[in-house]
Amino acid sequence: MNEEQRAVDAIRVLSMDAIQKANSGHPGMPMGMADIAFVIWSKFLNVDPADPTWRDRDRFVVSNGHGSMLLYSLLHLSGFAISMDDLEHFRQWGYVTAGHPEHNPQLGIEMTTGPLGQGFSTAVGMAMAEEHLRAVHGADLTDHRTFVLCGDGDLMEGVSAEAASLAGHLGLSRMVVFYDDNSITIDGSTDLAFTEDVPARFASYGWQTLTVDGHDRAAIEEATLIALADTERPTLISCKTHIGFGAPTKVDTSSVHGSPLGPDEIAAAKATMGWDLDPFVIPDSVYEVFMEAMSRGRVMHAGWTTRVEEARTADLDRVSAWEAVWEPSDVSLDAPQAEPGSKVATRKLSEAVIQQVAAQRRDIVGGSADLVPSNNTYIKGSHDFSRADRTGRNVRYGIREHAMGAAVNGLTLHGGARAFGATFLTFADYMRPAVRLAALMGTPSIFVWTHDSVFLGEDGPTHQPIEHLASLRIIPGLHVHRPADPAETAAAWQQSINRTDGPSAIILTRQGLPVPGNEPTMAKIERGGYVRVDGTDIVLVATGSEVPLASDAANLLAEQGISARVVSVPCVEVFNNQPDDYRAVVLGVNLPVFTIEAGSTAMWSAVARNGGLAIGIDHFGASAPADVLAVHYGFTPEAIAATVIETLSQS
What is this structure's pTM?
Answer: 0.97
Is a pLDDT exceeding 70 seen at residue 569?
Answer: yes
pLDDT of residue 638: 98
In total, the chain counts a number of residues equal to 651
- Between helix 284-314 and helix 316-324 the angle, nearest 10°, is 130
Q: Is position 196 annotated as part of the catalytic site?
A: no
What would the pLDDT profile of 170-221 be if each residue is shown by its tens digit? 999 999 999 999 999 999 999 999 999 999 999 999 999 999 999 999 999 9
Closest C-alpha among 330, 312, 148 to residue 239: 148
Domains and CATH numbers, the chain: 3-300 (3.40.50.970), 343-514 (3.40.50.970), 525-650 (3.40.50.920)
3-state secondary structure of 592: coil
For 415-443, write each residue's pLDDT tens digit. 999 999 999 999 999 999 999 999 999 99
Among candidate residues 401, 488, 519, 573, the one labeled active-site is: 401
List of long-range contacts for 284-287, beta carbons under 8 Å, 24+ apart:
285/3, 285/6, 286/3, 286/6, 286/7, 286/10, 286/77, 287/77, 287/79
Compute the mean pLDDT over every residue in the chain, rounded to the nearest whole number.
97
Distance of CA 466 to the CA centre of its chain: 23
pLDDT in tens, 453-505: 999 999 999 999 999 999 999 999 999 999 999 999 999 999 999 999 999 99
Measured distance CA(382)–CA(392) in Å, rounded: 6
Strand residue runs (E) in 165-224: 175-181, 184-185, 188-189, 208-213
Report the distance separating Cα 462 and Cα 444, nearest Å. Answer: 29
In this predicted structure, the answer to whether residue 392 has a pLDDT above a threshold of 90 is yes
Q: Give the pLDDT band (50/70/90) at residue 118.
A: very high
